[in-house]
Structure 1
Amino acid sequence: MASRAEDHLQCPTCLEIFKDPVMLPCSHNFCRACVQQWWEHKGDRTCPVYRTEFRSIGLPMNLALKNMCEAFSQASVESDDICSLHKEKLKLFCVDHQELVCLICRDAKIHAGHKFCPFIEVHEDHKDKLQDGLQDAKKRLKDYIETRDNCNEQATYIKIQKLLDKPKLLSGAPLDEVKHVGNLKFSVWERMKEMVSYSPVILDPNTADPDLSLSEDLTSVSHQKEHQRPNNPERIYNDEWLNPNSPA
């Protein structure tokens, strides 16, 4: 029952019991500091829940809600601070059982040999951890709200932007097969003609005079006496070359 009542007394922004609660024209209640922080962050005066925008607005205190929150907090402190068995204040914390105990519980048999520490020390340690966790949760909530608002703005923008015209196909995109593939043999032959030279006369190195030297392509000849060739039967010797003074 207490948890249900606490849900109705929590601020939707900080998720804590209302502190200095104020009511907006849309009937939603928030902590005064939470509303002011929201307005400073957004730059306009809107409801943090439904984003309803208000042109001119004050922050009137919800006195009835404030009184309910203070009464609930006081009742929670009083009920949580009393031992249910001995009706004594819970001043110690049992480290072994991880629970609050009173002075009578400390001397009970169930806590014999256990380690105790003052309640205020445990309260401060847990308070610091809770504050750290709360700050992290607030940051995550802030990031979530910013991401959600950006997505909503993008969705609105997409609905009213002009659609692009139908794309047109450009000429010349496919491969020009006629140019590159058509009459391929002739094209290769034309390229080969540029690299190969044609000579109608081919010299035979096996029948040339021993003093003649032929080029590598057998199309030209030069006179070199130092060049030696084998005396094979095909080679023709001219006596006039060998003995110019002999009679014809």
Structure 2
Amino acid sequence: MADSFSLLEGDLSCPVCCEIFREPVILSCSHSLCRACLEETWSKGGTQDCPVCRRRSSRDQPPPNLALRHTCEILLRERETKDTPGPPKEPTEELTEESAKNATEGVVEEATGGLSQSENTSHRGPQGVCSLHSQKLQLFCLEDECLVCVECVLEHADHSFCSVGKAAGQRRKGLRPQLEALQKKMAAFSKAELTCDKMVAHIRVQTQRAERQIKEEFDKLHCFLRDEEVERLGVLKEEEEEKNKRMKERVDEISEIMSSLSDTIRAVEEKLAVDDDVSFLQSYKTIMERTQSVPEDPQLGSRALINLAKHLGNLSFQVWEKMQKAVKYTPVVLDPNTAHPSLYLSEDLTSLRPEDKLQSLPDNPERFDFYRDILGSEGFTSGTHFWDVEVGESDDWSVGVASESVSRKIDKKSGLWAVGVRDGEPYNMTKKTQRIRVSWDKWEVSFFRLSPHIRKLKTIQHKCTERMYPHFHLHNGQTLQILPGKVSLKVENHSV
């Protein structure tokens, strides 16, 4: 028991101070530390890196790990109780079926004689009396998992028995892992709730930013475009309300599940705190079944954020279709909901630049958080597609296409077809204009250099059968700009 206690202390120790956690917080990399230790480490180091894995934290104020804090508080109380002298523990001897058959009142008293006076007294009363024989329930049948009196023993042929105290102790031990599992569930739902709250705030920021940009565009088009402006703002507002409604429903659902988990945890804790072993065993099956009926881990659905590409992408071009005036059209619109937090996008979503400072963005499923990558907002499953990209001074960048299922959270590059520069190699293409051509029907992805003259650099055969998206990577340097296409009565693809 002492070894188990020491192992538990090791698992619940802060990796910085090596003591039991005090006010633990959880980082985005899932490591937990004492709040004071983390603040001291960040203050000395000057960066917000995890002291364990050195990964940059995406939060300035990491949330508290409530489940871990509760578990550490329990451990500290257990350690204080362990260090405090107390009465001797109950005996744990089992009664064989042979001895049970010959049991008399004196034999039963001997088998349960290790119980404290208060425990023996607790058997008196309706809850500690056999309903068939009106005798005290003093034994526990291991085969039938039930309390029995001395007269019930003969009805349990070839069965083994043990004292009430031992049976209760064993089942308390078995119930504690269930409590720990429930507490872990609570921690997962707490984290999901915080993420939902952050998404709601980000949706609000996205809506405000989109509204401002929409107004600026429509102000340039004067009175003729007022009706179009009102219509688009209305669509944006409807989507905001819909997304907020969905998120509120998700938050309410999580809150309801958390409330249910809290009730279950409270019920288990109350049962574990009951000194009356008989009462505990009588309700054991019910409470165990309740602990096993737990919900799945919280999952955050994709596309929870405002679809900025829908409202802002090619906005001027769509208006031009009504006015038949020349406007800027960009064949690829960047999707900010997929952008790594270190990539800053222009307001028209056609250029990006890397910065060392991470933006405070929701960790939604679509977002890249390992590499400094971003996708275009529109994918394709057929046809031939072109887009031109101009890259500034940088020695680490790439352009190409990615499958819809490309990994965004871990170091894995399957589902990506791209060329670029890494430490100046393999192509010296800095400050050059690149063209990407995807011939879906020919299963080809081709790359061209356009300056000073058109030159094919490479053609890659792809075997992707799912939707593909334009892909951009810019680790350092200046700006990556998607160049506008030629606009007439219809969009003409560039020819090689």
Using the size of structure 2 for normalisation, the TM-score is: 0.19
Using the size of structure 1 for normalisation, the TM-score is: 0.35
* Structure with max Cα Rg: 1
Higher strand share: 2
